[in-house]
Amino acid sequence: MKQLLIVTGLFFYLSANAQISKQATTNKTVQDKGYEIPITLSPYKNTWIYLGSYFGKGKTLSDSAWLNEESKGVFKGKEKLTGGIYFIVSPSKNFIEFELLMDNEQHFSITADTANRDKPTIKGSLENSLFFTYSKFSAEKGNHIQTLRGKYAAAKTKSDSTKYREEAIKEEKVLQAYREKIIKENPNSLLATLFHVMKKPEAPAIPIINGKADSLYPYRFIKEHYWDDVNFYDDRILRTPFFEPKLDEYFKYYLSPEADSIIPEIKYMLLSARTGKEMFPYLLIKFTNKYVKPEYMGQDKVFLYLFNEFYTKGDTIYLDAASRKMIFERAYSLMANQIGEPAAPLNLTDTLGKTHSLYEIKSNYTLVVFWDPHCGHCKEQIPRIDSIYQAKWKNMGLAVYSVYIYNDQLPDWKKFITEKKLFNWIHVYQTEEAKQYEAKNSIAGFRQLYDARVTPTIYLLDDKKRIIAKQLTIEQFDDILTVKHKQIENKK
């Protein structure tokens, strides 16, 4: 079986989309009768054409068919295709001829001509009859709405602007009513399912409660109803172009960036998708990719949740060996350095051979900096840190515990310290003896404990050596220190 992930550094990326599909279809039985779709596509002759589908934000090819002298061919397979929105692809593979729906009935025929791509004839599929009837109506209304929007944008008077805007809204409501009619009359159809995924709640008016406007009510309403009638276990919605963008919009606009707000949402989605042969692994990997190297500080806690609740409990069959190894190593690195938790002990050696313990430092705050004098970014950032330390942070009671991450070029390290006059910092490194002792006794080193794989890696600790912040810019660390210090001063 092809592997699902490709590892590049510390990131995990989805490989060819068809791989999940292969995992899914191998679990089906021959009793499904497979699929057989004869196709006539003029004027193509003696060439291959392709059947593809959407998959998350991308597209994937599912099958190919050879068109003979009469432009006839057949897509055929022993296993049923996962339902969703499919399309016929040109011989060059760079053009979609037209779309169609693939649901439970997968024995139907297609007749089409590239001169009229929007008018294929599909026989034997009620889903596609419904789909093309809707598509025709939607195209007509959509074009009209676009025309009205153009007139609205170009209107020179307020009355014309209002007129075209109201007409456009009216037409949009007609289109939505048409969709609602299809849902009501065909509640179990794939098209109805797609409409549920496409639909987004409209924000209600702000209510007045006890004489005060509840301005957050529209937000709460949309968030509460955002996923109405959407089943995360339904693999078919993954094969649409609008499910994943809707998912991304939800996380971007309707969830707080704090890990504790994100985790319950992810838990609900993954547990709901558990029976989805394609949906569950896709979401698990998507969330892993998103939070293994998160956008906001502290969101790596979400990755640890995924690791503890899924990967350690057996959900690793979707990973190749390298990805599995990387995920486990990454998780072990993050476990020791979560926001709010005590920093791992450090007992390292200074330039004179004396050992300095991180926990022996008595200060309001401690900045732990892992760096290398040969690192271009460090050459720029380390002096900047010292400048703001001398000007501001030292007066706040902050100490700097500076760790040279190597031990093979000590003269260069000492020279840099002297040249940049970093005299008020505690400068330490790990001796080769200490490093060998850790390796021999399987003791985690500071690189793993502090996830110090790039330089500089920086942590801000409080007076009890609990982690306040990590991996921020100097300006962001300064903002946090300013706020924290002000809070302490106000309590005195």
CATH top class, domain 347-491:
alpha beta
| Confidence band, pLDDT 50/70/90 cuts, at residue 196 | very high
Length of the chain counted residue by residue: 492
The confidence score (pLDDT) of residue 118 equals: 84
State which H helix or E strand residue 461 sits in: strand 457-461
DSSP code string of 376-420: HHHHHHHHHHHHHIIIIIGGGTEEEEEEES-SS-HHHHHHHHHHT
Give the percent of the chain with pLDDT over 90.
85
Amino acid (1-letter code) at residue 411: P
Listed in sequence order, the residues at least 6 apart from 441 whose beta carbon sits closer than 8 Å to its beta carbon are none
pLDDT for 423: 92
Write out the two tokens for 224. Answer: 């509460």
Q: Report the pLDDT value the prediction gives residue 406, as an integer from 0 to 100.
A: 95
**Which of 91, 130, 93, 128 has the alpha carbon at shortest distance from 111?**
128
Task: Decide if pLDDT at 6 tops 70.
Answer: no
- What is the reported pLDDT for 488? 79
Confidence of residue 490 (pLDDT cuts 50, 70, 90): confident
Mean pLDDT, residues 2-17 taken together = 32
Percent of the chain with pLDDT over 70: 93
Which sequence spans correspond to the domains of the chain? 28-124, 129-198, 232-335, 347-491
Write out pLDDT tens, residues 447-477: 999 999 899 999 999 999 999 999 999 999 9
pLDDT above 80 for 388: yes
The predicted model gives 27-35 an average pLDDT of 59
Give, in order, the Cα–Cα distances in Å from 340 to each of 50, 119, 467: 54, 61, 5
| pLDDT value at residue 422 | 96
Tens of pLDDT along 336-369?
999 999 999 999 999 999 999 999 999 999 999 9
Rounded to an integer, the average pLDDT of 154-162 is 90
pLDDT band at 487 (very low <50, low <70, confident <90, very high): confident
How distant, in Å, are the alpha carbons of 126, 135, 186, 272 from that of 175? 21, 11, 16, 31
Separation between Cα atoms, residue 417 and residue 424, nearest integer Å: 10
Task: Pinpoint the alpha helices (H) of 100-235.
Answer: 126-154, 158-185, 190-198, 217-225
Strand partners, 53: 60, 86
CATH topology assigned to domain 28-124: Immunoglobulin-like (2.60.40)
The pTM score is: 0.83
Name the residue with higher pLDDT: 400 or 210. Answer: 400
* Separation CA 411–CA 417 (nearest Å): 10
- 383 closest CA partner among 407, 352, 418, 348: 418
Mean pLDDT lowest among 20-29, 430-439, 483-492: 20-29
How big is the CA angle at 120 (ends 116 and 126), to the nearest 5 degrees?
A: 155
Closest CA to 306 of 288, 290, 293: 288
Q: Which residues contact 102 (CB under 8 A, 6 or more apart)?
A: 35, 53, 81, 82, 83, 84, 85, 86, 239
pLDDT in tens, 288-298: 999 998 999 99
Q: Residue 16: pLDDT above 80? A: no
pLDDT at position 492 over 80: no
Which is more confident, 438 or 6? 438
What is the sign of the dihedral through the CA atoms of 350, 353, 359 and 363? Answer: negative
pLDDT (0 to 100) of residue 489: 78
What would the two tokens of residue 388 be?
Answer: 């703001």
Residue 77 has pLDDT above 60, yes or no: yes
Q: How far apart are CA 168 and CA 149, in angstroms?
A: 7
The confidence band for 135, taking pLDDT boundaries of 50, 70 and 90, is very high
Q: Give the pLDDT band (50/70/90) at residue 11.
A: very low
Q: Is the pLDDT of residue 2 over 90?
A: no
